[in-house]
Homo-oligomer: A and B are copies of this chain.
């Protein structure tokens, strides 16, 4: 018998969100971003579920690309962080991995390689994490164009810093800088566009967009929930009530004794905590649900359990399943209460929580 703390993953919802991205992307192709273990949903299962839909996958590092190949999938896999060693180049060439090169060292590795993979160049249009400055791009491409490997050059990639905020002037600036910088090479493909860019009216997405969070039902937009954006929740995080009791007015609950009952309160303990990846920054007031009713956390989240106020669900009993996020409570709501974003919550669920997959289409 499992501990029955579990993350249900709805693969139909995932596919539906992918299709929504395609609709929003218009004529742009859409590569599914499945890094960080498929944003915490399980890279193998997520990639398999999307294999019939997406022409390419994108991941952070080569280990993740290997996981996709080990699953038997044959789509090209874009490595958003490029490669880490000289020998990675050969492995990329042999396996259909497409590194996004962003540093002189990586160019040198490409230059010395005997067989080259399809590859991309990262342009730093203002994020200032990775990529070549626009003013250096001519030199970079000039240097590469002398190589045989240049026949495998796919195109240019850039990434937005503030697309979650429609008011920010930064996205338009980055788009313009990217457009100007890549103008001299009209034959190369262009890839911009995290999830947020799909929701910005009039935003150009060029040849390939790269949505991540929206596939998993999380909102990419500041102040909006995934549900409000028409996305379907994919992960439903559940844990059982392991005890219920009445705490008396004046008694405190949990570490630090920070929550004190102002009246006799029926409370429950739920078998999930930050050791499972539930955020410790959530606490009193964060919503959860039981039997379809919304309830709230009280006190501090512990490593293996957390406390809830059951005033709103007096019928709840030991063994009932509490939804920490999913359909009744959006992951974006919990993220807001924890002072973070759904991305961190989803990727943070630890290995102690088994993932359980649901899919009508393959049932």
What is the minimal beta-carbon distance from A23 to any residue of chain B, in angstroms? 25
Q: Chain A: how many interface residues by the 8 Å CB criterion?
A: 69
What is the minimal beta-carbon distance from A60 to any residue of chain B, in angstroms? 4
Q: Mark A97-114, 1 if CB is under 8 A from B, else 0.
A: 000001101000000000
- Whether A129 contacts B1 by the Cβ 8 Å rule is no
- Whether B303 contacts A1 by the Cβ 8 Å rule is no
- Whether B81 contacts A304 by the Cβ 8 Å rule is yes
- Whether B36 contacts A304 by the Cβ 8 Å rule is yes
- Chain B residue contacts of A318, Cβ below 8 A: 103, 105
- Whether A303 contacts B254 by the Cβ 8 Å rule is no
- Chain B residue contacts of A269, Cβ below 8 A: 129-130
- Whether B88 contacts A280 by the Cβ 8 Å rule is no
- Whether A60 contacts B243 by the Cβ 8 Å rule is no
A161 interface residue (CB < 8 Å to B): yes
Within 8 A of B (CB), among A92-151: 102-103, 105, 126-130
A161's contact among B129, B240, B247, B252, by CB below 8 Å, is which?
A: B252
- Whether A348 contacts B351 by the Cβ 8 Å rule is no
- Whether A103 contacts B242 by the Cβ 8 Å rule is yes
A341 interface residue (CB < 8 Å to B): yes
A51 interface residue (CB < 8 Å to B): no
Instruction: Name which residue of chain B comes closest to A341, CB basis.
Output: B280
Total copies of the chain: 2
Query: What separation, in Å, do the CA atoms of A242 and B277 have in the docked complex?
Result: 27
A37's contact among B129, B161, B339, B352, by CB below 8 Å, is which?
A: B352
Q: Mark A332-358, 1 if CB is under 8 A from B, else 0.
A: 000000011101100110111000000
Known: A126-B252, A254-B127, A347-B303. A62 touches B3 (CB 8 A): yes
Known: A253-B129, A281-B340. A35 touches B84 (CB 8 A): no
When A and B form their complex, which 4 residue pairs have the shortest distance between CB atoms, in order from nearest? Answer: A36-B275, A60-B304, A128-B253, A275-B347
Query: What separation, in Å, do the CA atoms of A3 and B164 have in the docked complex?
Result: 29
- Chain B residue contacts of A280, Cβ below 8 A: 340-341, 344
Known: A1-B87, A103-B318, A350-B347. A243 touches B130 (CB 8 A): yes
- Chain B residue contacts of A297, Cβ below 8 A: none
A167 interface residue (CB < 8 Å to B): no
Query: What separation, in Å, do the CA atoms of A63 and B354 have in the docked complex?
Result: 11
A305's contact among B1, B129, B162, B245, by CB below 8 Å, is which?
A: B129
